[in-house]
Structure 1
Amino acid sequence: MPKSDSYSQGVQYPVLGDAPDIEVQLQTLVNGFVPRLVMRFADANARAAALSGGTKPVPGMITYLIAEDRWEGRQADNTWLLLSDGPWQPLSFKTGYNAFKGSPGWRRKAGGGVELRGQIKRTNDGNLNDSSDLIAFASIPKSAAPAALRVFLTPTRRQTISGVTRHTARVEVTSDGALSYFVEAGGGVSVPGGPAWFGLDGIQFSPAGDD
């Protein structure tokens, strides 16, 4: 009868008294090791297809998804927990807006959550829309969006029509992934030597299903 490893990990190996069947014995040994290694899959869909039925995922498994470039660990509640920050992904800009500095984008954070970064300006380097309306400037995938509206105070550099410098703006993230900003009426004027801009640095939230 096979014995288990000395580290109490449940990996079985054959003993001299076992019937000689090298295929079965090696398969038992390999199948005992593989779930305890970092398993690599082309993407999340490939992982779901491979880890099902008799090979379904169990708590403690660690996987690396090549296409998504992320490490994940299986939790006791049967969910995958992100173990490393995901790669930065670009925003989908609305017409009239683009990047200023800081490579605007979003990424998933280790342990859960989404983070934004970067500075945004008008494509013509002109004033921000300061009509007191909420202005859509970009979006992120719905899969990364929060379950409900999130509102943030963010950095900015702009002036009022009377020349007073402003350093904060408001950015909203909706459950559809839409990103919008707001500045007070007459408060979106470009500063001398550069365009008016607002930033996303410091914005973090939980996506729907990860609250």
Structure 2
Amino acid sequence: MYLTPLCQLPYPAPSDAADIPAHLQSLATALDGRTVLRFTDAAERTAKVTAPQAGMVAWLTTPALLTVHNGTGWVNVHEPADSGWQTLTPGTGFVAGITGQTGYPAPQYRKIDNRVYLRGWLSPATAGVIARASTLLTLPAGARPVAIATIAATCSDVVTANYNQEGTTRLEITPAGVVRNLGQNTVAGYTYVGFPDGAFFFLD
């Protein structure tokens, strides 16, 4: 019996007895653990693959995941690290939501791989406005960019003559995690700021 040089798949040598079914069975058995195995879930994979070997690949219908055996155990080929939505504490002088209105959730962040998503709203703690360069909140370690990042955010300006009343402002996120308002305002400032759903920045 000969073996292929890369995957060590068996095939008959001239001196082997002529037994086509046995040769095909030997080849099929060798190939069986080298294809992408398919199972309903991890439990079925464990039940059927009783002696897994490094390099085996298995697809799990639930939860739609490709896995590989690394010689020690089954690991996901790629599953983005996801922190889930985490509530943020507004900076000094600010509160979550829009003052005097309901249905506006607190600011939150979510880290997926090297992206940080933001959502939610905040307003001044007392009647007033959000002045330019105000620190709105601080992101925790692990959710901070290595260089200054910027995103657009929703805002409301108390001065109707300002071009971006009920419009957008520019927010800056520093490597220290400080999120501050750097949008244009000509007289007073904003009465609230909100992160649009889908707003994100890269950590690197």
Q: State the TM bucket, normalised to the shorter chain.
A: 0.5 to 0.7
Aligned length: 149
Call closer, same or farther: CA 1:55–1:179 in 2, change over 3 Å. same
Q: Which residue of 2 aligns with 1:82?
A: 80
Call closer, same or farther: CA 1:4–1:93 in 2, change over 3 Å. farther
Q: In structure 1, what residue type is equivalent to 2:122? A: I
Q: In structure 1, what residue type is equivalent to 2:72? A: T
For 1:140 and 1:158, the matched residues in 2 are separated by 25
Q: In structure 2, what residue type is equivalent to 1:117? A: R
**Is structure 2 residue 186 aligned with structure 1 residue 171?**
no
SS at match of 2:150: strand
**Is structure 2 residue 121 aligned with structure 1 residue 119?**
yes
For 2:52 and 2:157, the matched residues in 1 are separated by 61
Q: CA deviation at 1:122?
A: 1.1
Task: Return the TM-score normalized by structure 2.
Answer: 0.57
Q: CA deviation at 1:150?
A: 0.8
1:1-211 equivalent positions in 2, closer than 5 A: 4=30, 6=32, 8-9=34-35, 29-32=50-53, 36=58, 55=72, 61-62=75-76, 73-74=77-78, 82=80, 86-100=83-97, 101-109=104-112, 112-124=114-126, 126-130=127-131, 132=132, 134-160=133-159, 163-164=160-161, 166=165, 167-183=167-183, 184-188=185-189, 196-201=191-196, 202-208=198-204
Call closer, same or farther: CA 1:141–1:9 in 2, change over 3 Å. farther
Q: In structure 2, what residue type is equivalent to 1:118? A: G
For 1:174 and 1:56, the matched residues in 2 are separated by 40
Q: Deviations over 1:62-120 (max 9, x none)?
A: 1xxxxxxxxxx44xxxxxx507x5410111322211211233101023x6411101111
Q: In structure 1, what residue type is equivalent to 2:32? A: S
Q: Deviations over 1:13-64 (max 9, x none)?
A: xxxxxxxxxxxxx9x83444998587xxxxxxxxxxxx99x6388xxx31xx
SS at match of 1:114: strand
Q: CA deviation at 1:137?
A: 1.6
**Identity in percent:** 19
Q: Deviations over 1:125-177 (max 9, x none)?
A: x22232x4x111211122111110012222111222xx436122121111121
Task: Return the TM-score normalized by structure 1.
Answer: 0.56
Q: In structure 1, what residue type is equivalent to 2:175? A: S
Q: Is the CA contact 2:143–2:203 (under 8 Å) kept in the aligned structure 1? A: yes
Q: In structure 2, what residue type is equivalent to 1:199? A: G
Q: Is the CA contact 1:88–1:106 (under 8 Å) kept in the aligned structure 2? A: yes
Unaligned runs of 5+ in 2: 1-25, 38-46, 61-68, 98-103
Unaligned runs of 5+ in 1: 12-25, 39-50, 63-72, 75-80, 190-195
**Larger radius of gyration, structure 1 or 2?**
2
